[in-house]
């Protein structure tokens, strides 16, 4: 949480804050993370050149922006490890309407949870009851308002946050993210994993379901993902053709003794390990996630074996105090003879690159047990972004339309290839990134897709739409070889044509290379007037 705070208020001065305070913040209950994130998000939006966070001791953080007096802060009370955090508001810095809201807030909190500690100017609200989370957020809405807040009664207390178990129940236990290369499967795996393991934290980020996460939210997700990976609640494995049941579930492992004798011991695989850990923490409402990268590259029947039945949601083992009907299945494992079931707090998230293998070729049993989320290219993400006159959205959209016609939609180009271009604000540097994307990503993929059929690659790049006067803007060089020149007049080849036409990629370097001319890229998606329109040196 300490890292998240620094990311949110990236222009804040935290040098005066004691390291122990950050340790206390990192140890607070997860349920309160949403309040902390909202507090610092609102502080970050305050118009201020100097956001100074001061402190008198290790238990405290005070807010003092610009030349204003201290207007509030956070403070820990009690002794470790049972310290309790409080939100503190200075009354003399409030407007009349805010003081009225403060009076209403004080009525919502009991004397146990709201106090002044002998100083009537400081009103303090304890983080000691999770049922008051929404009330704490309501205080933030009138205390630190910002443009864009929905105008509501400041003290309307909504229903409390759903419990982690209720929210995680809405998240698919088995899901596969599939799509062409570069469509964000890896990033969305991070988001899906955090959402499954810590649904309350994910919910607190308020990520727009349509527009997706913003930069600060992505950073928060990445930090949380790393934390959960280090704690073992998120684990990662990659399937490949030689991967098997022994590595995934359990198998015999050869070991050499001190006498140089070979012995065999039963060794648990990655799935059995995480399933056992999830089951041991099931009653504590701790969720676990196993991420399976390139799930379509493995032999599913060989890897999962009899477990393909156990991963079905209806066959999962519920926690001991669950009121749901227990329809779970237990099986005896072949090597150890252990009785084994899959707990309902273990999520499986797979990724699948459709350029490697079609969804239609997936194991039927696997397809029945997983929810599939398609991830296709999103050229609309680049709407309005131009680099030296090149419309990135139109460029990607046109390339993919042609690939879809000449091949299929599962081999289109992902939007991630253009993100380095999009994120670079300098036009010249962005254009260099575009050239690099074509050289290192797009052209090699097209070669692979079309088996070096350069005529089709030529059509994808729109070279056929460029006139002869725009030859210097074509990405491929044309070469014609007469059969009679190569083999003589009596070559005996049963061919309809008298010459062979081939295409080859033009060099990426050099003063005259089309890869260094913006008009060449514009010509991919729109007809050029003539080469004379090229104004570049």
Dig out the tokens for 115 from the structure: 């106090």
DSSP state letters, 358-369: -GGGS-HHHHHH
- Look at 17-21, 153-157, 280-284, 513-517 and tell me which has the smallest mean pLDDT: 153-157
Q: Report pLDDT for 166.
A: 43
For the segment 370-409, what is each residue's pLDDT rounded down to a tens digit?
A: 888 888 999 998 999 999 999 999 999 999 999 999 998 8
> Cα(525)–Cα(490) distance, rounded to whole angstroms?
44
Quick one: pLDDT at residue 31? 77
Asked if pLDDT for residue 454 goes beyond 80, the answer is yes
Nearest-angstrom CA–CA distance, 416 and 435? 15
- % the chain with pLDDT above 70: 89
Average pLDDT, the chain: 84
Residues 6 or more apart in contact with residue 344 via CB below 8 angstroms: 173, 282, 313, 316, 317, 318, 319
For residue 322, pLDDT over 60 is answered with yes
pLDDT at 238 over 80: yes
Asked whether the bond before 269 is cis by omega within 30 degrees of 0, the reply is: no
Q: What is the mean pLDDT of residues 441-456?
A: 91
Predicted structure pTM score:
0.67
Report the distance separating Cα 320 and Cα 326, nearest Å. Answer: 10
Of 138-142, 280-284, 479-483, the one with minimum mean pLDDT is: 479-483
Q: What is the bridge-based pairing of β-strands 331-332 and 390-391? A: unpaired
Q: Where are the alpha helices (DSSP H) in 370-497?
A: 392-406, 419-423, 427-437, 443-449, 454-460, 483-487
23-47 as b/e, with b when 16 or more CB fall inside 10 Å? Answer: ebbeebeebbbbbbbbbbbbbbebe
pLDDT score of 505 more than 80: yes
How far, CA to CA in Å, does 322 sit from each of 18, 326, 344? 44, 8, 11
Strand 288-293 to 390-391 pairing: unpaired
| Chain segment 265-311, per-residue pLDDT in tens | 899 999 999 999 999 998 778 999 999 999 888 888 899 888 888 99
Q: Give backbone dihedrals phi and psi of 119, rounded to 5 degrees, phi first.
A: -110, 105
**Domains of the chain by start residue, with CATH:** 2-161 (no CATH), 166-374 (3.40.50), 379-533 (no CATH)
Ranked by mean pLDDT, the top range of 76-90, 141-155, 480-494 is: 76-90
> What long-range pairs does 516-520 form, CB within 8 A, spacing at least 24?
516/435, 517/472, 517/473, 518/387, 518/388, 518/389, 518/390, 518/431, 519/473, 520/473, 520/474, 520/475
pLDDT(465) > 70: yes
Which positions ≥6 away from 293 have C-beta within 8 Å?
Answer: 189, 236, 237, 238, 239, 350, 351
pLDDT digits 0-9 by tens, 333-372: 998 899 999 999 999 999 998 887 655 566 677 778 888 8
pLDDT tens for residues 413-432?
999 999 999 988 899 999 99
The answer for 462, left when phi > 0, alpha when psi is -120 to 50, beta otherwise, is: left
Cβ neighbours of residue 382 closer than 8 Å, sequence gap 6 or more: 392, 393, 396, 415, 418, 422
The C-alpha angle 412, 415, 420, rounded to 5 degrees, equals 135
What are the structure tokens assigned to 425, written together? 């604000």
Which carries the bigger pLDDT value, residue 365 or residue 169?
Answer: 365
């Amino acid at each position: 949480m300490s890292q998240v705070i620094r990311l949110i208020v990236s222009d804040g001065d935290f040098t005066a804050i004691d390291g122990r305070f950050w340790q206390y913040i990192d140890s607070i209950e997860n349920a309160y993370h949403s309040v902390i994130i909202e507090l610092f998000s609102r502080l970050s939006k305050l118009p201020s050149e100097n956001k100074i966070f001061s402190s008198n001791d290790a238990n405290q953080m005070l807010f003092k922006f610009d030349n204003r007096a201290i207007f509030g802060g956070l403070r820990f009370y009690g002794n470790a490890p049972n310290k309790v955090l409080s939100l503190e508001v200075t009354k003399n810095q409030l407007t009349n309407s805010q003081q009225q809201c403060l009076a209403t807030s004080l009525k919502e909190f009991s004397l146990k949870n709201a106090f002044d500690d002998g100083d009537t100017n400081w009103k303090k609200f304890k983080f000691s009851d999770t049922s008051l989370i929404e009330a704490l957020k309501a205080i933030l809405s009138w205390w630190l308002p910002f443009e864009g807040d929905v105008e509501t009664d400041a003290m309307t207390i909504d229903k409390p946050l759903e419990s982690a178990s209720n929210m995680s129940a809405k998240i698919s236990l088995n899901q596969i993210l599939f799509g062409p290369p570069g469509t964000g499967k890896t990033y969305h795996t991070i988001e899906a994993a955090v959402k499954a393991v810590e649904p309350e934290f994910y919910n607190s980020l308020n990520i727009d379901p349509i527009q997706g996460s913003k930069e600060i939210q992505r950073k928060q997700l990445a930090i949380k993902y790393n934390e959960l990976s280090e704690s073992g609640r998120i684990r990662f494995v990659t399937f490949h053709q030689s991967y098997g049941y022994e590595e995934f579930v359990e198998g015999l492992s050869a070991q050499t003794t001190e006498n140089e004798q070979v012995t065999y011991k039963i060794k648990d695989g990655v799935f059995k390990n995480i399933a056992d850990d999830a089951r041991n923490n099931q009653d504590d409402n701790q969720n676990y996630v196993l991420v399976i990268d390139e799930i379509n590259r493995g032999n599913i029947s060989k890897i999962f074996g009899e477990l393909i039945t156990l991963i079905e949601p209806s066959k999962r083992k519920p926690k001991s105090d669950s009121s749901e009907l227990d329809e779970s299945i237990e099986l005896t494992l072949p090597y150890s003879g252990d009785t084994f079931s899959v707990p309902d707090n273990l999520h499986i998230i797979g990724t699948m690159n459709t350029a490697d293998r079609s969804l239609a070729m997936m194991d039927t049993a696997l397809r029945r047990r997983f929810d599939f989320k398609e991830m296709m290219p999103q050229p609309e993400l680049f709407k309005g972004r131009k680099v030296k006159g090149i419309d990135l959205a139109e460029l990607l959209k046109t390339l993919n339309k042609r690939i879809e016609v000449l091949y299929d939609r599962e081999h289109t180009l992902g939007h991630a290839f253009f993100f380095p271009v999009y994120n670079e604000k300098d036009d010249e540097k962005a254009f260099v990134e575009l050239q690099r994307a074509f050289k290192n990503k797009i052209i090699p993929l097209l070669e692979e897709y079309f088996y070096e059929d350069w005529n089709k690659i030529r059509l994808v790049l729109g070279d056929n739409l460029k006139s002869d006067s725009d030859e210097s803007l074509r990405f491929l060089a044309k070469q014609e070889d007469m059969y009679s020149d190569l083999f003589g007049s009596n070559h005996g080849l049963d061919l309809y044509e008298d010459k062979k036409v081939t295409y080859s990629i033009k060099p990426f370097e050099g003063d005259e290379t089309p890869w260094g001319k913006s008009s060449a890229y514009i010509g991919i998606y729109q007809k050029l007037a003539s080469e004379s329109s090229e104004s570049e040196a």
